[in-house]
Structures are given as structure tokens and as C-alpha cells.
Amino acid sequence: MSYGRAHDVQRRHQQQLLSLPGVSGVGVKMRDGSPVMVVTIDDGAEIPEALRAADIDGLQLTVERGRYRPQ
């Protein structure tokens, strides 16, 4: 999947993902040469069921713990 298409997936799902309990950030990052959607959840928050999938619309999903900090 291209980086541009990955951002399209992010835009389609971002509001829904940010509304999940404990979610503080959503973004696309490159990992091993491929884009992945990274969802950041607060330390101690339970991972919502919606984030237990391997991918969203074919884009690999990765969950990271910690408070999102803009770069």
C-alpha cells in the first residue's frame, strides 16, 4: 500500500478511533519500508476491541502505549 493511500485510510477512520476510550493519537508511520497505522493509547488503558484487528482496510494496525505527543 502506498503512503498516500495509507493516509486516506487514516482520514476515513481517525474520528472513530479517537473516540475510543484511552486513545490519544492516530497516525501513519513507516515501518520496515511499509506504512502502518499507529494508534496510541494511554498507559493503563484497556485496548478497545476495535484495535485488536491486524489491519484496517488493509493497512497494518499497531497499538502503542503512552500519551501521544505531537512531533
Cα distance between the two ends of the chain: 24
Instruction: List, for residues 1-52, the tens digit of each pLDDT value.
Output: 999 999 999 999 999 999 999 999 999 999 999 999 999 999 989 999 999 9
**Could you tell me the residue ranges of all domains in the chain?**
3-65
Band of pLDDT at residue 71, cut at 50, 70 and 90: low
Band of pLDDT at residue 66, cut at 50, 70 and 90: confident
3-65 belongs to CATH 3.30.110: no
- Which residues have C-beta within 8 Å of that of residue 51, sequence separation ≥ 6? 17, 20, 23, 39, 41, 61, 63
Whole-angstrom distance, CA of residue 12 vs CA of residue 47: 21
Cell numbers for 15, please give them: 474520528
The pairing of strands 34-41 and 23-31 is antiparallel
